[in-house]
């Protein structure tokens, strides 16, 4: 009798969770493009996880693209080089496979750090207000006054080219957006009755923020952060294309397209002769960014608290 009673309690307790999961799945099914986004990102996750098997590591650094000679002219796809080689004989297949891992690392690291900084500064600014809020918002206004890519280029140029400096520049450019967004949500939520009630019963500011304010204001930030992953990878690829990103010969999609710039429409007789040098890395960049944008739409459908749950 005791076991049946516990099972009944467990089912009752799990009821809301199961209902919420069913609601999420129904929202995703109603948006075919969201399913496409999930499939695309799932495909790239598989490539990233299987990178050591798909393209076995050759040297001490797995992200260093192997090359077997130093000819300038790219070579077409063959049994040895499945997707051909770039200028300088860098293997395209190895580059796009390990470049997938690098893209995940760049996107998740930059968004994660920017989100953490934005949450801390946005919570302090929105919850306490006053001079603290004024100073933080004016500082973010200064950063927003510059185009993101131009500011990132300036930071990398000042610090020196390299992947670490690119990551730092993208964080410096990215965190103010999260700060402003979470601040606006907290300004809205902190006026609610349940927040005032929590303050009235003596809850500390940290408890009010963590237990009541932040859980009801973080959903838009999570949605935007998902959309930003694709944008961050695209910006990093642009910096690498300009020669400000990864070291030479690195498995970086932007740098691989940089190697192809001398071979786009290289010959009048056959302008698409070296199509594989820019089309293949370009497809990886395009679909990776597209997948995150579609996945962000799916998260918006799932996490939007304004949607009516039945």
Which tens digit of pLDDT belongs to each residue from 10-35?
344 444 456 656 665 666 666 677 78
> Cα(171)–Cα(168) distance, rounded to whole angstroms?
5
Q: How many residues does the chain have?
A: 310
Mean pLDDT computed over 172-177: 91
- Per-residue pLDDT tens digits for 264-293: 876 666 777 888 888 999 999 999 999 998
- Per-residue pLDDT tens digits for 247-270: 888 889 999 998 888 888 766 667
- Per-residue pLDDT tens digits for 52-77: 999 998 878 889 888 877 878 888 88
Read off the DSSP letter of residue 67.
B
What pLDDT shows up at residue 198?
78
Judged against a pLDDT cut of 70, whether residue 241 lies above it is answered with: yes
What pLDDT shows up at residue 71?
79
Cβ neighbours around 41 below 10 Å, total = 22
Class of domain 31-303: mainly alpha
What pLDDT shows up at residue 126?
85
> Cα(287)–Cα(46) distance, rounded to whole angstroms?
15
* Backbone φ and ψ of 91, nearest 5°: -70, 120
> Cα(65)–Cα(84) distance, rounded to whole angstroms?
13
> Cα(93)–Cα(103) distance, rounded to whole angstroms?
15
Cβ neighbours around 142 below 10 Å, total = 9
Q: Who has greater pLDDT, 64 or 202?
A: 64
Q: Who has greater pLDDT, 52 or 199?
A: 52
Q: Who has greater pLDDT, 158 or 31?
A: 158
> Cα(245)–Cα(242) distance, rounded to whole angstroms?
8
């Amino acid at each position: 009798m005791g076991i049946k009673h516990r099972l009944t309690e467990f089912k009752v307790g799990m009821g809301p969770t199961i209902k919420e999961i069913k609601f999420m799945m129904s929202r995703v099914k109603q948006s075919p493009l969201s399913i496409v986004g999930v499939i695309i990102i799932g495909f790239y996750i598989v490539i990233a996880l299987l990178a050591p098997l798909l393209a076995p590591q050759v040297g001490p650094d797995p992200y260093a693209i192997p090359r077997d000679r130093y000819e300038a002219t790219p070579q077409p796809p063959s049994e040895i080089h499945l997707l051909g080689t770039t200028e300088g004989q860098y293997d395209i297949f190895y580059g796009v496979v390990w470049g997938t891992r690098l893209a995940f690392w760049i996107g998740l690291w930059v968004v994660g750090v920017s989100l953490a900084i934005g949450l801390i500064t946005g919570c302090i600014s929105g919850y306490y207000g006053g001079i603290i809020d004024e100073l933080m918002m004016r500082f973010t206004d200064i950063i927003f006054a510059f185009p993101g890519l131009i500011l990132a280029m300036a930071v990398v140029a000042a610090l020196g080219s390299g992947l670490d400096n690119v990551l730092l520049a993208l964080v410096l450019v990215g965190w103010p957006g999260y700060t402003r967004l979470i601040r606006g949500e907290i300004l809205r939520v902190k006026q609610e009755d349940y927040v005032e009630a929590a303050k009235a019963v003596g809850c500390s500011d940290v408890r009010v923020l963590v237990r009541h304010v932040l859980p009801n204001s973080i959903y838009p930030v999570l949605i935007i952060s998902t959309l930003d992953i694709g944008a961050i990878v695209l910006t990093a690829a642009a910096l690498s294309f300009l020669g400000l990103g990864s070291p030479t010969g690195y498995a970086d999609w932007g740098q691989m397209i940089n190697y192809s710039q001398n071979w786009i429409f290289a010959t009048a007789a056959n302008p698409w002769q070296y199509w594989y040098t820019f089309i293949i890395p370009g497809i990886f960049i395009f679909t990776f960014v597209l997948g995150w944008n579609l996945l962000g739409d799916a998260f918006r459908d799932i996490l939007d608290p304004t949607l009516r749950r039945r």
